[in-house]
Amino acid sequence: MPTTAPLPLLSDSLRGLGLDAGILFFALNYEFTKTEPKGLFKRFKKHQGAIDIDLACVLYDDHCTISDIVWFKQLRDKAESVKHQGDSLNGKDRGEQAMYLAPLDQEQIRLYLDKIPAHITHIAMIANSYHSHPFSRVKKGEIHLSDDEGNRCFEVNLKQLPRDCTTLWVADLRREIDDWHLTLHNLPLAAEDLAGAAQEVAHELARVLPLPQGI
């Protein structure tokens, strides 16, 4: 039966968390939430009448350099080991089956861990509100990670995030000798888009990780 690991201070190997390390699903599900643009802001981005949340997985090498990014502008990495299943602009446009609390996620990125290139040592999972609406403004919603047997490792309640949070470093995977180590961060980022967030996480990884041997 699918299980859900406890949220607090989640940091362990996938094996230790009881996950099948074959395929992981980084996914988003939230209730359609209309917004009311005011003044000149109405002239700007299309689809700004509803909250639009995007997911990304960023692949880094052991120098904390961005090797690849999978997001709505690039639906798979070069090795086709990480695949985005398609962008949702408002949490509603994927159809009735992809509505909140329905069987399908509105956005999902699949990670085929056995196919991740050997030079990739970290994979960051990031969420961003495209029009800079705070995540907490959604009526209901969550971000989660699961394996292909339905076991959930964590669930992030969007309503419980800081009131001004629009970009979030959700979690990262670190390559180990025979497994991957998962750490849940839930760290708000200053970047306003996914490309900027990928760079911000790169700086954070470089700050906290030891340099590779021989440097």
pLDDT digits (tens, 9 = 90+) for 33-65: 887 665 444 555 544 578 899 999 999 999 999
Q: Has residue 45 been placed in a domain?
A: no
Give the per-residue pLDDT at 142: 94
Range of the domain at 137: 20-31+55-186+197-208
Residue 103 has which token pair? 């069987």
**Residue 136 falls within a domain, yes or no?**
yes
What is the tens place of the pLDDT at every residue in 150-160? 898 899 999 99
The per-residue pLDDT for range 79-135, each reduced to its tens digit, is: 999 999 875 544 444 444 445 555 567 889 999 999 999 999 999 999 999 999 999
Q: Is 147 part of any domain?
A: yes
pLDDT top residue among 195 and 210: 195
| C-beta of residue 113 within 8 angstroms of C-beta of residue 15 | no
117 within a domain of the structure (yes/no): yes
In a domain, 7, yes or no: no
**By the 8 A CB rule, do 142 and 29 touch?**
yes
Domain count, the chain: 1
User: Residue 57 is encoded by which pair of tokens?
Assistant: 């997985």
Model's pTM, two decimal places?
0.84
86, part of any domain: yes
| Mean pLDDT, rounded, for 62-82 | 96
The tens digit of pLDDT for each residue in 158-191 reads 999 999 999 999 999 999 998 999 999 999 999 9
For residue 150, tell me if it sits in a domain: yes
**Would residue 160 count as lying in a domain?**
yes
Q: What is the CATH number of the domain that holds 82?
A: 2.60.60.30
